[in-house]
Amino acid sequence: MGRLWAFLVLLLCAAPAQAQEEVVAGLSQNSVALTVNFVGSDILIFGAVRRDGAIPDGPLDVIVTVEGPPQEATIWRKARRAGIWVNAESHEVRAAPSFYAVASTAPLTDILSPEADLDYRISTRLAIFEARASGDVADPAAFSEALIRIRKAEGLYQEGQTPVALERDTLFTTRITLPKNIVEGSYAARIFLMRDGAVVDEFETFIEVRKAVLERWLYSLAYDQPALYGLLALVLAAVFGWGASAVFRFMRS
């Protein structure tokens, strides 16, 4: 009994020294439906820092990342061959997120140490896993950078475009825009509390992006029952093509 008391007292003394700060967060929506008129979607990510005791000294920062399902990808580089521009060299990427957004209270380089970045893979560059085996090109880094550049232009990769608003070191909000060309799947939203370049606490939640009923049905039919889908495409074409001209003939007579 005495030993247990001693242990509890020790625990109580140790706790404040750990400067316990926890992050809790929520999303404006946990699911996105890719309906026929889908033009993109804004997700509001908000949350609070929970702590026992006073706010520790030093600046507190928040980083929010949203990551789409990873894909294997091949990046091609064109070169002039016999006067025309053709895909000449390629480089494989083992896994690149189909969507990646990073929002933060301050520029990443100021609040994220390289070590923490390596551990948690927060910056866009580290979210892409290059294949180690394919070493046919002299400058694989140029290919990964091109991947980021192209996807940034398409709105699929966003870094430092949206700020995270942090109030009184406790409440934070940010807004991530999912563009119209996102793919289906589970999107991981991660929230990091940062102090001195290190991650103090991490919170993860998911956004499910799904095609709406009709789109879902067409898509799974195309992949699961391709023969049936092919026939459906033909019947639609035949009915539309023949039916419309029949209607016009009827209207003229």
Partner 1 sequence: MQIYLPIAETSVNAFTLLGVGGGVGVLSGMFGVGGGFLITPLLFFIGVPPAVAVATGVNQVVASSISGVLAHLKRKTVDLPMGWVLLAGGMVGSVIGIWFFNLMSRLGQIDLIVQLSYVIFLGIIGAMMFNESLRALLRTRSGTAPKRKRHTHTWVHNLPLKMKFRTSGLYISVFPPLLVGVGVGILAAIMGVGGGFILVPAMIYLLGMPTKVVIGTSLFQVTFVAAFTTFMHALTNQTVDVMLAAFLIIGGVIGAQIGTRVGLKLGAEQLRILLALMVLAVCGKIAFDLLWPPAELYSISVAGGA
Q: Does 106 bind partner 1 (CB under 8 A)?
A: no
For partner 1, which is the closer residue by CB, 59 or 226? 226
Among 90, 109, 161, 186, binds partner 1 (CB under 8 A): 90
Other C-beta atoms lying within 10 Å of the C-beta of residue 149: 10
How far, in Å, are 38, 70, 144, 229 from residue 223 at the CA level? 22, 20, 30, 8
* 7-15, 17-25, 168-176, 228-236 -> range binding partner 1 (CB under 8 A): 228-236
Does residue number 213 form part of the binding site for partner 1 (CB under 8 A)? no
Residues 6+ apart with CB under 8 A from 105: 61, 62, 63, 111, 163, 164, 165, 166, 172
> What's the rounded Cα separation, in Å, for the pair 217 and 239?
21
**From candidates 29, 44, 52, 78, binder to partner 1 by CB under 8 A:** 78
Cα separation, 15 vs 11, in Å, equals 6
Taking residues 117 to 156 in sequence order and writing x for each that binds partner 1 by CB under 8 A, - otherwise, the string is --------------------------x--xx-xxx-----
Residue 173's nearest CA partner among 26, 67, 41 is: 26
Quick one: which of 19, 73, 137, 188 contacts partner 1 (CB under 8 A)?
A: 73
Q: What angle do CA 44, 39, 221 make, to 5 degrees?
A: 110
Among 5, 17, 85, 168, binds partner 1 (CB under 8 A): 85
Q: Closer to partner 1 at the Cβ: 32 or 116? A: 32
Tokens 């008391």, located at residue = 5
Q: Which residues bind partner 1 (CB under 8 A)?
A: 34-39, 71-80, 83-87, 90, 98, 143, 146-147, 149-151, 180-181, 183, 211, 214-216, 218-219, 222-223, 226-227, 229-234, 236-238, 240-242, 244-246, 248
